[in-house]
Amino acid sequence: MTLTSDTDLGLQHTLKSEIGCSGTGLHTGETVSILLKPAPVNTGIVFRRVDETGQGAEIAAHVDNVVDATLCTTLGNEDGVTIATVEHLLAALAGCAIDNVIVEVNGSELPIMDGSAAPFVFLIECAGMIEQDTPRRVIEILKRVDISIDGREASLSPGSGFSVGFAIDFDSDAIGKQDMNVQLVNGTFKGEISRARTFGFAEEVDQLRRMGLARGGSLDNAVVVNGDEILNEEGLRYDDEFVRHKILDCVGDLYLAGAQIAGHFQGYRSGHAMNHQIVRALFADPTAWRYADAVDVTETPEPLAAIA
C-alpha cells in the first residue's frame, strides 16, 4: 500500500475498486471465492454470504458475532449463517487502514491462500484505497485491562499508536520460546508480519480431520512441524515465523473491536479465544476505553502497511 504524502490518516478509507480472488478453505477443503467491494462511511467490515439468501446472509465483523474460536475465528448471526477463518483478511484490512468494505463470499470459509495475510495485502494494494469524508474512529485504551486463564495471559493498556507484544512457548525445539514486540506503524505489518504463515503439527492432522478440520491444509498453506523438524521444503520465512503469525492473528482478532486499537496488546500463549475475550473484557469496563477520532489521540495510529 503506497500512500501519498497528502493522505489524511485521520479519515476513513475504503477500496477504490472491487477485487476478488479464490482459493481453498483451510478447514473445509472446498474451493471458495471472495469479492472485496467498496462501502460507504461507517459501514465497517461486513461479510456477505452470496451462497445464502435473504437478510441472514450478512455478518458484521464484530466480537459480538464470534461463535467459535477453534483453530480460527468464526463469525455468525442469529439466523445461523457463519463464516470461518476471517482473521487473516481482517489483519490485512487493519494493516491497510481499510475501515469500510463488503466481503462477498460464496462459501462458509475464507480461502487460506498461502497461510499468511500477504496475498490479501496484495489484493488490497491492487484495488487501491480512497479517503472518505468522515473522521476515522479509533478505540483509545485509557487504563489496563487483563485476563489470565490456565497460564495464558492477555492485556490491553494505554500507549501511543498501536503496538503488540507476544510470547509463545512450545515443547518442540523447532519452535521453542519466541517473543516479539512491534510498533505497528510505518510499514511494519506488511514488512515484518504479513508474510508469516499459520502452522500446525503433523501428529495432530488425523485427529483434526476426524473433527472436520484442516481438510484443506497442506505444505502449500501452512508450516508443518513434525517433532523437531520443519517439513516444508523451503523452510521458514523468518527464524521466528511462529510468533510473528501469532501477532498476525492477534491484529485480525483485535479488529473485531470494530475499529483500530490505540494502545498496546500484550499476550503470552494467547490464541483466538483469549484475543476475543480481552476485547470483551475491555468493552465490559466503560472506564477503560473511549471512542476517539484518530486525530484526537496522542499519536495518530498510522496504517500498518507500507507508507511511502
Instruction: Kindly tell me if the per-residue pLDDT of 130 is higher than 90.
Output: yes
Range of the domain at 81: 11-135
Q: How confident is the model at residue 300 (pLDDT cuts 50, 70, 90)?
A: very low
Residue 129 and residue 150 share a domain: no
Instruction: Kindly tell me if the per-residue pLDDT of 112 is higher than 70.
Output: yes
Count of structural domains within the chain: 2
Q: Count the Cβ atoms, other than its own, within 10 Å of residue 245.
A: 27
Residue 272 and residue 171 share a domain: yes
- Say if CB 24 and CB 216 are below 8 A apart: yes
CATH of residue 151's domain is 3.30.1700.10
Residue 159 and residue 77 share a domain: no
Domain boundary, last residue among 135, 168, 188? 135
Digit-coded pLDDT (tens) for 21-50: 999 988 788 899 999 999 999 999 999 999
Catalytic machinery residues: 272
Residue 98 falls within a domain, yes or no?
yes
Burial class (CB in 10 A: 0-12, 13-18, 19+), 173: exposed
Residue 95 and residue 204 share a domain: no
Identify the pLDDT of residue 56: 63
Question: Helix, strand, or coil here: 86?
Answer: coil
Range list of β-strands (E), 158-273:
162-169, 177-183, 199-201, 223-226, 229-230, 260-268
Q: Count the Cβ atoms, other than its own, within 10 Å of residue 265.
A: 26
- Taking CA atoms, 12 is separated from 1, 38, 89, in Å, by 15, 12, 18
Domain boundary, last residue among 91, 118, 135? 135
Residue 181 and residue 70 share a domain: no
Identify the pLDDT of residue 29: 82
